[in-house]
Amino acid sequence: MQAQDSRILFVTHSAGFRHGSIETARRVLAGMQGLQVTATEDLSFIRAPRLAGFDAVFFFTSGELALDAEQKRDLIEFVRAGKGFGGVHSATDTLYLWEDYGELIGGYFDGHPWTEPVTVRVDAPAHVTNFHLAASSFRILEEIYQFRAWDRSKVRVVLSLDPDSVDLSRPGVNRTDRDFALAWTRQFGAGRVYYNALGHFDETWLDPRFQRMIQGALVWLAQGKIADIPVLAPGALIDIPGSGLANAPAVEHAAPWPTESGGSQVTVNGAAAAIFRAAPQRLTVQIPYGLRLTGPANLAIQSAGSTLVWPAPVQAAAPVLVGRQAAGDVLVLYATGLGEVSPPVAAGTPAPAEPLSRTVSAHRVTVGGVSAEVLFSGLVPGIPALYQINIRRPEGTAADAPVEIVQ
């Protein structure tokens, strides 16, 4: 991943318990490519004139930090105005007497019943902090926090403890709902917040999985832009959620779709994507055909004078069924993401009626779990990015039976 001008203030002041892993954390963050990290114990950095030099503030702190009323106001306004704030591990064991801080970070530390190997669930695998993880869960030795003054409805949980991996009857377990979030994100005004409860041990900070989580978090906090990394397929119509993605109100374009809208452009391995819809918090684009299928693709978002590049996973197809209609024993299915077509069509342009552009790869379709005969698979003439599959409904299946398009 690449980030331009991502300036991070890493505050490691300990007014309570000081974690031995702080020095390792400082070294790890200092070595992260594309980030300019200023690590400090000096709380005077938290004043508006000095905060103006940073894109995000990241806490690995503890205890009641000696911040005056003006500093507290400046930090809140820094985030509310569109910047980033994050914290790791004991950042929730901080500033209990300042209620606005608890609201900002999302909750307060309420004990650590377990220090042992646990299973961590990946709740948001597409999020920029998690998309590198290959499985739906992973094992790690950590000091596991639980939280109070925390409300799942106010955050997006991206990691959580698998409650079946620990003893819930252990003394000190205060939650009874089996809901032990370990990392989350949220919007705060126009700004972004990320918290990760891991990080007690040096070994955690030296773990490449954790390092990529934190690097992704810092880039997202500083730059905004992409919140989730989509799976790319040739010709697919994808949504890219985030912030600051366009500098104009939401707009939908008539075909042919442009490659620039609202001051934003999207490229995949340098090839321009066609933009159907552009809004500050979401772009809907068509991935160019001819996408290389080996390894990840560089998905680049250019907006507001900066460029952010993420490696995105690639598949030959990413089928999404968007509609269907019956005509006797024939079902007509409409979908996106069915991959390459022949003859080729430029992204964002309507497909021709003569000759029809057919899908290069065959797709298996099931109706009610039964394989169906595919009569046609290709682009709908006159509309960009929309595919049509005609199938013969298997004998004995209902017209409204569930349909699945298999790659």
**pLDDT surpassing 60 at residue 251:** yes
Report percent pLDDT > 90 for the chain. 86
The pLDDT tens digits for 52-67 are: 999 999 999 999 999 9
**pLDDT score at 5:** 67
The neighbouring-strand residues paired with 35 are 6
Mean pLDDT of 328-338: 95
In this prediction, residue 186 carries a pLDDT of 96
Mean pLDDT of the chain: 94
Rg, C-alpha atoms of the chain: 24
pLDDT of 402 higher than 80: yes
- Distant-in-sequence, close-in-space partners of 326: CB < 8 Å, separation ≥ 6: 332, 393, 399
> Within the chain, which residue ranges are assigned CATH 3.40.50.880?
6-223
Rounded average pLDDT over 275-290: 94
Rounded to an integer, the average pLDDT of 36-49 is 98
Range of weakest confidence among 91-100, 159-168, 224-233, 312-321: 224-233
Domain 6-223 part of CATH 3.40.50.720: no
Asked if pLDDT for residue 401 goes beyond 50, the answer is yes
pLDDT at 355 over 50: yes
- Give residue 294's pLDDT: 86
Alpha-carbon distance values, 343 to 97, 379, 385 (Å): 66, 10, 14
Rounded mean pLDDT, 316-333: 93
Span of 163-167, 238-242, 364-368 with lowest mean pLDDT: 238-242
Residue 308 pLDDT: 83
What number is the average pLDDT over the span 355-374?
A: 94
- Region 226-237 average pLDDT: 92
330: pLDDT strictly greater than 50:
yes
Nearest alpha-carbon partner for 338 in 378, 283, 384, 288: 378
Question: What number is the average pLDDT over the span 169-176?
Answer: 95
What is d(CA 270, CA 289) in angstroms, rounded to the nearest whole number?
A: 12
Residue 2, pLDDT > 50, answer no
3-state secondary structure string across the chain: CECCCEEEEEECCECCCCCCCHHHHHHHHHCCCCEEEEEECCHHHCCHHHHCCCCEEEECCEECCCCCHHHHHHHHHHHHCCCEEEEEHHHHCECCCCHHHHHHHCCEECCCCEEEEEEEEECCCCECCCCCCCCCEEEEEEEECCEECCCHHHCEEEEEECHHHCCCCCCCCCCCCCCCEEEEEEEECCEEEEEECCCCCHHHHCCHHHHHHHHHHHHHHHHCEECECCCECCCCEEEEEEECCCCCCCEECCCCCCCCECCEEEEECCEECEEEEEECCEEEEECCCCCCCCCCEEEEEEECCEEEEEEECECCCCCEEEEEEEECCEEEEEEECCCCEECCCCCCCCECCCCCCEECCCCEEEECCEEEEEEEEEECECCCCCEEEEEECCCCCCCCCCEEEEC
